[in-house]
Amino acid sequence: MIGTVEHPAPATARRSPGVVWGEFVARHRYPVLSLGLLFVVVSAVLYPTLQARLVGVDFSVPDRDSSISDQVIAKHFAAFGTEQLAVTFSSDDHLVSDQRFRDRVESVGQELRSHRDVVTVVDPYQTQGFAPQISQDRTAAVALVGISGDASDRIGVAERLQSSLSGASRDGVTVAMTGYSPMTVDLTRVESDDATRAESVGIPIALIVLVLALGGIVAGAIPLVSTGIGLVFAFGVIAALAHVMSFDVLVTTVASMIGLGLGIDYSLFVVSRFREELARRGVTSRSDREGVTHATGVAVGTAGHTIAISGLIVMIALASLTIVDVPAIRTISFVVALTIVCVLVAAWTVLPAALAALGPAVNRLGLPERCRPTDSRAYAGHSRWARWARHVMRHPWTYAVAGVLLLVLCIIPLGSIRYGVDIGTAALRDQPTGPANTVLAEKFAPGTSSPVTTVFTGPDRGPMSDRQAEQAVELEYALRTDPRVAFTYSQSSDGRSLMVVIPSVPIDSSRANELVQSIRDRADAITADGGPRAYVGGTTALVVDASSEISGKLPWVVAAVLGFSFLYLAIVFRSIVIPVKAVLMNLLVTGAAMGLTVAVFQWGWLSSALGFTSVGFVQIYLPITVFAVVFGLSMDYEVFLIGRMREVFTRTGDNLESVVDGIEHTARPITAAAAIMIAVFASFLTANVLELKQFGFALSVAVLFDAILVRMILVPAMMRLFGARNWWPGSRTGGNAS
């Protein structure tokens, strides 16, 4: 985070636009607070509508085979449905041949057919000749249900169908439904519960850190309140936009995770600067309205200005994700950027208004004197942080080599990274789709919940010739020998053919991804021989195409973020060496965090301790999203720390003392900010959904590395090794520039 500079601001800076705004808010504190309260109420009212409009995570990539397959199916195979669901029937007391069992199946089938969004229902007693719908032990059966609509519509359809089936389990027969959309509905509920539980752990820890960092209970609570208001604003805006845009189930959880960490830190620095200004002017009573107004203006003009730059940096880093043509990636980046804007708005309006209303009362319920942070003006280069900085600079090579080596070792697992999507079925055992998933896994082919759909067409998606149709059939017969395939069947329409493949493996497994690629390789071989053009679709194919898009665009995203980071730091610090070092160190931190994430979640390290079972890959959108977010956060720390060093070096020309002064005056706020973000991010390790664990782990490890290893060790070591060359070409030389 970018913090505040402890030296008094120049007189001219105190009349900056930020100062003027802060004083305006202070003079109109109660109208601003009233307006903020109004927005909170409106946002809270809108929030329930957001939950009802969330859709499944959209991994579709335009003009890829999986997307084209869906388009052709919707046009030429409408009776098949745009999504296939599975409704299971199971019993411990009856066999499928018993009349009670048959009556339940018939009754549920009639209920399903009455829904206008259901296009077909294949009950277990119909003979289809491609996939058994009755288990070998004859205690379970499955009906195949085709539904219509786009991704947004199908979530609503799944909710309505789940509601209609809520009382269908009776007469000793358990009825349950599963499929991608029904699981998405349940996943929304589970992730919401996960986020609530994580916040119940992370927020109290953050409050403790805030109280220790600011030296009082009232001061420590204010950043939490301000951040909460900012998050409510964000959810209200997202809910309003949901009427014209689609947002997936991840948005509220990701927004909470990152918004909490950033918002609390932003508010921390504003509150800290406000209290400093009160002490500097000797304001001890709220009746000193001019003194309180002035302190509010300075806090907004200094700390408020720097957190605005901080937010801008993160948003620009997130903007690089628009290079990736995957809706899920773009949605996450947009929502995080929007959340940052909202917490910044709260920090620039409600927070200063609240501080102005409190005045010196912000210091109430303070900690004992010995537990309060040392006033910045009392620093004289003899604090423990100053001693630490000098110690590191006496052994720069040792610390530089050791620090870089540690990061490189953590990066090594990244070379074996594998992408995939864990739908989260393990977290849905107690949800409505849980029984159906269990029945399919134990008594049927796991892939029944979402088959692989392949459309065969002629040139330009037109009708096939007779020979091409024969080749499509031959390919289907060849696939039946694949051990990853449980069953296949096909149907024809308008000169096109639809082949449905039910995998014998879970649809979100690595083996399912390999099956999709195998089908495509076989199809490409017959296409090259004059055969039909094949478009492989389905949920698993979407994952494969999204993985390809993300891995292909990742170098461009990295280049864009690195290029921006270099240019920004070069302009701010008028240096070439510092931006190069910063970019390389930030790259090492991000790589190390993702390397450890691969080791833990792909290789299975610490799986027992963290309460999960490794699926053999990381979520496809995790590396690219974490890279953008972590790089933005790292830039905040960089500007805060190096900015302080440059201020001293420009004034004195002494590189050694500029490093000592920079570490001494920024170490406490950096470590406090890092501790808060780690507490918030790491609390998501308590989640049941694996992707939330991965996000929380990757972000918390990255912040830990960046705040401690890089800022407190590598930066002073590197600054000592490069000496005055750090500031070339825009700095002065002189003094002890070594």
Which of 537, 553, 588 lies at the terminal end of a domain, its last residue? 537
Please check whether residue 311 lies inside any domain of the structure: yes
All residues at 6 or more sequence positions from 106 whose CB lies less than 8 Å from its CB, including other chains: 123
What value does the mean pLDDT of the chain take?
86
Residues 229, 323: one domain? yes
Residues 232, 329: one domain? yes
CB 168 within 8 A of CB 108: yes
Residues 221, 263: one domain? yes
Residues 176, 232: one domain? no
Residue 373, pLDDT score: 61
Kindly state the average pLDDT of the residues 350-371.
Answer: 86
For residue range 294-344, list pLDDT tens digits in order: 999 988 988 888 788 778 878 888 888 889 888 888 888 899 899 999 999
Percent of the chain past pLDDT 90, that is, above it, reads: 37
pLDDT over threshold 70, residue 688: yes
pLDDT over threshold 80, residue 347: yes
For residue range 369-387, list pLDDT tens digits in order: 766 665 444 445 567 888 9
Please check whether residue 340 lies inside any domain of the structure: yes
Assign 405 a pLDDT band (cuts: 50, 70, 90).
very high
Please measure the distance between the N-terminal and C-terminal CA atoms of the chain and give it in whole angstroms: 28
Q: What is the CATH number of the domain that holds 306?
A: 1.20.1640.10
Residue 4, pLDDT score: 42
Residue 371, pLDDT score: 65
Q: Within 10 A of 612 (CB to CB), how many other CB atoms are there? A: 22
Provide the domain limits for residue 292: 13-53+216-366
Residue 107, pLDDT score: 93
Extract long-range pairs of 561-565: CB within 8 Å, 24+ residues apart: 561/317, 561/320, 561/627, 561/628, 561/631, 562/587, 564/316, 564/317, 564/320, 565/317, 565/631, 565/635
Q: Which residues of 12-48 are buried (b: 16+ CB within 10 A; e: fewer)?
A: eebebebbebbbebbbebeebbeebeebbeebeebee
Kindly state the average pLDDT of the residues 90-113.
Answer: 92
pLDDT over threshold 50, residue 733: no
Residues 251, 167: one domain? no
Q: What is the CATH number of the domain that holds 128?
A: 3.30.70.1430
Which of 133, 164, 185 lies at the terminal end of a domain, its last residue? 185
Residues 250, 355: one domain? yes
Closest CA to 239 of 45, 59, 40, 41: 45
Which of 537, 569, 597 lies at the terminal end of a domain, its last residue? 537
Written as six digits, the tokens of 330 are 């773009």
Reported in sequence order, the residue ranges of 531-662 that DSSP labels E, i.e. its strands, are 533-537, 618-619
Structural domain tally of the chain? Answer: 3
Residues 222, 354: one domain? yes
Assign 151 a pLDDT band (cuts: 50, 70, 90).
low
Q: What's the whole-model pTM score?
A: 0.80
> What is the distance between the alpha carbons of residues 403 and 665, in angstroms, rounded to a whole number?
22
For residue range 423-458, list pLDDT tens digits in order: 778 888 889 999 999 999 899 888 888 889 999 999
Residues 160, 92: one domain? yes
